[in-house]
């Protein structure tokens, strides 16, 4: 059975490095736990290493975190459902009047209003209120006694946002906050985005002072930024390692001539289409099917006989898929 080995101590060190980088820019770190299914031991390590709060997209994960870490501030960063009950978290992200009303209904009978942050569309073309409609939505939230508007946020480089627009994205959300300031709403918190901004900060770039925090998950789990996928200073990129067995190995015909190929007992059903990088030099992936992944030897020294266990560093997509696959055994160590 394939295994996903997770070094919680390494994730803690990655969190320390990212939190320190953000502190240089007067930013708080909100640790995103959706990539690890809200695993409490991992989340606790993130908090101990400097994360200010935890964020997740799934109700089951939020409930798991609340039970295990009752003192942690939880953010629901998935938009509210209008048809099913949902876990709101301590702070809930909304992007439209209907979503805000859904959160307000959950406040019925409570003494305190529910806290919300409004997601603003800044170029990713996915979720978020268009900036020109933000003041109207903020006004509706401010007029709802069951809600408190605590901030604005954005998401970028998750759908269509590319490297060329990253600076404009964070400037847009900062400007959106300033627009609300001028209108008298004065959001306390401005979430400028996710791990995609870390590469820019690590290279000495700056973001607007109005931004107060970032939400990071990929950087903490994999030690890399989420835009260029480059290692971040002080981070380890081997905190999460996949191990899969070679179940067949032959020299086989290929378009470029006979090639030595190894078939691993792991595939799309476990990894989706997320990239993986073999740790052993001289091996590269040439394709996968539902149940198998095929590696090819690219150097004379590369050798992966039947029965060998191959270690691979997953991309974020592959990590999330493997962590949620019932066919991959999770092996946690540390803390």
- The domain spans of the chain are 8-222, 240-333
Domains 8-222 and 240-333 alike in fold = no
How much is the pLDDT for 252? 86
How much is the pLDDT for 29? 98
How much is the pLDDT for 56? 98
Residue 198: CA count within 13 A, CB half-sphere: 34
Its CATH architecture, for the domain 8-222, is Alpha-Beta Barrel (3.20)
How far is it, in rounded angstroms, from Cα 185 to Cα 297? 60
How far is it, in rounded angstroms, from Cα 267 to Cα 247? 13
Query: What's the CATH number of domain 240-333, 2.40.37.10, 3.30.565.10, 3.30.1280.10, 2.40.50.140?
Result: 2.40.37.10
pTM for the predicted model, two decimal places: 0.95
How far is it, in rounded angstroms, from Cα 193 to Cα 208? 12
Is-contact 270 1, C-beta < 8 A? no
User: What is the sign of the dihedral through the CA atoms of 241, 226, 125 and 106?
Assistant: positive
The total number of residues shown for the chain amounts to 335
3-state SS of the chain?
CCEEEEEHHHHHHHHHHHHHHHHCCCCEEEEECHHHCCCHHHHHHHHHCCCCEEEECCHHHHHHHHHHCCCCCEEECCCCCCCCCCCCECEEEECCHHHHHHHHHHCCCCCCCEEEEEEECCCCCCCCECHHHHHHHHHHHHCCCCEEEEEEECCCCCCCCCHHHHHHHHHHHHHHHHHHHHCCCCCCEEECCCHHHHHHHHCCCCCCCCCCEEEECHHHHHCECCCCCCECCCCCCCCEEEEEEEEEEEEECCCCCCEEEEEECCCHHHHCCCCEEECCCCEEEEEECCCCEEEEECCCCCCCCCCCEEEEEECHHHHHHHHHCCCCEEEEECC
What string of pLDDT tens digits covers the 335 residues of the chain?
999 999 999 999 999 999 999 999 999 999 999 999 999 999 999 999 999 999 999 999 999 999 999 999 999 999 999 999 999 999 999 999 999 999 999 988 888 999 999 999 999 999 999 999 999 999 999 999 999 999 999 999 998 989 999 999 999 999 999 999 999 999 999 999 999 999 999 999 999 999 999 999 999 999 999 999 999 999 999 999 999 999 999 988 877 788 899 999 999 999 999 999 999 999 999 999 999 999 999 877 788 899 999 999 999 999 999 999 999 999 999 87
């Amino acid at each position: 059975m394939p295994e996903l080995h997770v070094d919680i101590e390494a994730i803690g060190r990655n969190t320390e490095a990212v939190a320190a980088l953000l502190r240089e820019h007067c930013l708080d770190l909100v640790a995103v736990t959706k990539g690890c299914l809200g695993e409490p031991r991992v989340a606790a390590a993130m908090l101990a290493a400097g994360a200010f709060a935890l964020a997740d997209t799934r109700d089951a994960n939020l409930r798991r975190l609340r039970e295990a870490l009752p003192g942690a501030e939880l953010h629901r960063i998935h938009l509210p459902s209008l048809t099913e009950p949902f876990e709101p978290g301590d702070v809930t992200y909304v992007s439209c009047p209907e979503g805000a009303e859904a959160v307000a209904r959950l406040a019925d009978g409570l003494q305190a209003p529910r806290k919300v942050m409004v997601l603003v569309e800044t170029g990713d073309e996915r979720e978020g209120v268009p900036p020109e409609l933000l003041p109207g939505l903020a006004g509706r939230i401010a007029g709802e006694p069951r809600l408190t508007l605590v901030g604005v946020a954005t998401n970028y480089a998750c759908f269509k946002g590319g490297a060329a627009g990253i600076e404009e994205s964070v400037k847009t959300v900062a400007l959106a906050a300033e627009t609300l300031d001028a209108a008298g709403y004065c959001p306390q918190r401005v979430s400028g985005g996710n791990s995609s901004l870390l590469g820019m900060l690590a290279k000495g770039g700056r973001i607007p002072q109005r931004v107060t925090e970032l939400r990071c998950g990929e950087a903490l789990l994999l030690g890399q930024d989420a835009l260029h996928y480059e290692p971040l200073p002080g981070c380890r990129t081997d905190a999460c390692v996949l191990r899969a067995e070679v179940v067949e190995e032959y020299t086989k015909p290929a378009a470029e001539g006979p090639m030595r190929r190894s078939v691993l007992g792991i595939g799309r059903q476990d990894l989706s289409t997320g990239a993986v990088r073999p740790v052993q030099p001289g091996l590269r992936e040439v394709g996968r099917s539902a149940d198998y992944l095929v590696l090819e030897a690219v150097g004379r020294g590369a050798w992966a006989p039947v029965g060998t266990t191959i270690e691979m560093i997953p991309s974020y997509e592959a990590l999330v898929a493997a962590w949620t696959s019932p066919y991959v055994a999770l092996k946690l160590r540390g803390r």
